[in-house]
Amino acid sequence: MATQFQTRAKRGFTLVELLVASTILVVAIVAVVSTIRKGGELQVIDRHFRMARSIINSTLESSNYAQGNYAFLTGTNLTVTIDPRTDDAGDDLTGTLVVTITPGTINGTNATAIAYKIVSMTLTLTEPDGQQSISIDKWVTP
C-alpha cells in the first residue's frame, strides 16, 4: 500500500502551485529586463554628458582662445551636434552652447581690481527623459 506522500508525488503539482511559480518567474524576468533597459539608457545619457563636456572643453581650449583673449567668446550661442545618431538628417542629438563672461568675485568681493573673469559655458540638451544642462566655469585673467 502506497503512503499518502507517494501518491501525492505521483500526482504532480496543483494548478495553484503552478500559478504561484509562474507569477514569481514572470516578476523576476520583468525585474531583470527593466534593470538592463534602464542601465542601457543611463549609459547613453552618460555618453552624451561626456561628449557635451568634451565640446565645452574643446571650445575653451580652441586655438582662438588664448590667455587674455576671452572676449571673442562673449555672447556665444551655438547649436552643436552632441550625438550624430544616424546618417538621416534630423536624427542627431543637438544642444545649445551658451557662453557668459562675468567679473570674478573672491570671498564675495568683486575681483575687477585684478581683472579676473569667469567664463561660464553651459550646454543644454534634451534627452528622452527631459532637458539636461552641463556647465563648466573657468577663471581667466587678461
pLDDT tens-place values along the chain, 142 residues long: 556 666 655 678 899 999 999 999 999 999 999 999 999 888 888 888 888 888 878 777 775 555 556 666 666 777 777 777 666 655 667 777 777 777 666 666 665 556 677 777 888 887 777 777 888 777 776 6
pTM of the model: 0.60
Cβ contacts of 115 within 8 Å, gap of 6 or more: 141, 142
Neighbours of 70 (CB within 10 A): 20
Q: CB of 59 within 8 A of CB of 121?
A: yes
